[in-house]
Amino acid sequence: MSVSETITTLVHEIHNLKEFEEIIQKEELFVLDFYSTQCPPCDVVAPLYKKLAEKYTNAKFYKINGLDPEGLIVQKSIDVVWWPTFVIYKNGKEVWRAKIPNPPQQYPTAELEAELKKVYV
């Protein structure tokens, strides 16, 4: 398996609300990336998000496509209204959230990493 394949497998897609709810119940620490396939800022932050997944291996990293009808249900269930939006969960509770403004002046990946360090086990 190549390095790029390994990194890709560190970020998992959530496909529906049931799967999301199961992840909340079982994962101690995880990060969500709500994205769209038609969102240029999402394309910019995707490789940075993958690098965080490679670095913080005790956390799980997930992504949810907000254009997918099932992904939209998950997005609405926790009041995500913009892409990309990053959310950190610890012990079943949301502990941090950031979204990127449109147009993006800066991408909050450094802020995401700083917050992740605070809760990282």
Residues tagged active-site: 39, 42
List C-alpha distances in Å: 9 to 1, 5, 51, 62, 72. 10, 6, 12, 10, 23
- Using CA atoms, how far apart are residues 117 and 121, in angstroms rounded to an integer? 8
Q: How far apart are the first and last CA of the chain?
A: 27
State the DSSP code for 108.
T
CA–CA dist 75, 73 (Å, integer):
5
